[in-house]
Amino acid sequence: MASIDEIREARLQKLKLLEEKGINPYPTSVSRDMTLAEAAENFDTLSRESKSIHLVGRILGIRGQGKIVFFDFDDGSAKFQGLLKRGEPTKEDEFDLFNEVFDIGDFIEVKGTLFLTKQNEKTVLVETLRMLAKSLRPLPEKWHGLQDIEERFRKRYLDLIASKEVRDRFNTRFKIISLIREFYIGDGYAEVDLPNLQPLAGGATAAPFTTHHNALGMDFFLPVAQELYLKELLAGGMPKVFELGKRFRNEGIDTTHNPEFTMLESNAAYEDAASQRDFIERLFRHVVQGIFGTLEFEYGGHKINLEKKFEVMKFPDMSDDEYKKELRPKLIQPTFLIDYPVGANPFAKRKDDNPDLIDRFQLVIAGVELVNAFSELNNPIDQRERYLEEDKKGRKGNKEISPSDQEYLEAMEYGMPPNGGIGIGIDRLVMLLTNVVNIKEVILFPTLKPKN
């Protein structure tokens, strides 16, 4: 079997041959009348009309049989079959050129008519063809390295070519995000753009990433959270706001954590944790129904059903580590955990009937923590005291704190309405709804250790 270097060298020779024939192997303009999916959908009408159309795509397979050649090509919308017949109607020189320089992986443009083969395969009978982009390396089917899981993540473009399952998973991810946006906007929320270069890493207890701005001569932090900016907007009179974007936490990497991840954060004036739980139930049903057409799906061998009211459970009297190891894996059906101790979050309001607890909840499904939300603290005096406690932790060496933010405190002192805040881990939600256990499977380009 030829090595990749040998295959590449042979394809470079084919590239040179094209150029010697005066053929541009990477032309600028493309003739395309429709996608391959549209050609398949309108096949009956197009084949009846026998009208020549232009189609494009990447060659995925070639099957030569003397004076005819079948090939499969894909434009990202669908896969389609092409047929070249030497001299009828494909010109002899074009037929020979195809056999001489075209390979699996090349992008091509064809002009031809549609017909149905004896095997009932929708096919385009090629009259003319043109190279759009000559590939110099073989596709993954002929490249053993893609069997390495790390290489799949490192070279995601090859992973997408090789696996329809992977492509479908990311298409599901895109649809999940679209459904979430649709629901939020339909409920009256405004999507806002917030800064990714921040003078303080606030809004969550997490170690930040630091960067430096040369012109200003100062360090900035990548966002660990955006909730402080969202709440400042509420103080400014915007009633419902959300941001869906990247967050960065300088923490370990495992099957449910990636240093760069996607999160939705929202805040709504005059809402609290109880009303936000109802909002989350409605949101999750909207998304699951939109993906599966039903409120039931499978994850990790469990059937998850969102039809019933979500369970509500008080946070047990145990450490966070004990909760994660002992209790959380047992929570299969949707469960809200409520009533956390004050020290669990510096931005959540104390409960009116028990000031030692905060009005916070987390949503767990199939052992996966998906949502963190609470009634937001809007008392600047209490917030200042909470900040002092965070600063004490920082002076003792704890890097996972939310430091005092004087500008945020000033905004609070102008008056901030009661409000409810929500944080949703998008990557974990996609993991749940695509039935995978490794977060790298749902991030197009996950953070990886460099190769030696």
pLDDT in tens, 132-185: 999 999 987 644 445 678 889 999 999 999 889 999 999 999 999 999 999 999
Identify the CATH assignment for 4-138 out of 3.40.50.2300, 2.40.50.140, 3.30.70.100, 3.40.50.10260.
2.40.50.140
Q: What percent of the chain has pLDDT over 70?
A: 98
**pLDDT (0 to 100) of residue 65:** 86
Please give the average per-residue pLDDT across 285-304, as a whole number.
97
**pLDDT (0 to 100) of residue 321:** 83
Residue 279 has pLDDT above 80, yes or no: yes
pTM of the model: 0.93
**pLDDT (0 to 100) of residue 144:** 47
Average pLDDT of the chain is: 95
**pLDDT (0 to 100) of residue 319:** 82
d(CA 287, CA 183): 8
Assign 297 a pLDDT band (cuts: 50, 70, 90): very high
d(CA 60, CA 370): 39
Please give the average per-residue pLDDT across 87-109, as a whole number.
95
Tell me which amino acid residue 430 is: V
Please give the average per-residue pLDDT across 245-261, as a whole number.
95
DSSP one-letter code for 442? G
Helix (H, G, I), strand (E, B) or coil at 151: helix
Tell me which amino acid residue 189 is: Y
Please give the average per-residue pLDDT across 407-432, as a whole number.
97
Assign 343 a pLDDT band (cuts: 50, 70, 90): confident
- 4-138 matches 154-442 in fold: no
**pLDDT (0 to 100) of residue 147:** 66
Please give the average per-residue pLDDT across 313-327, as a whole number.
88
Q: Where are the domains of the chain?
A: 4-138, 154-442
Is the CB of residue 177 less than 8 Å from the CB of residue 199?
no
Just give the CATH number of 154-442.
Answer: 3.30.930.10
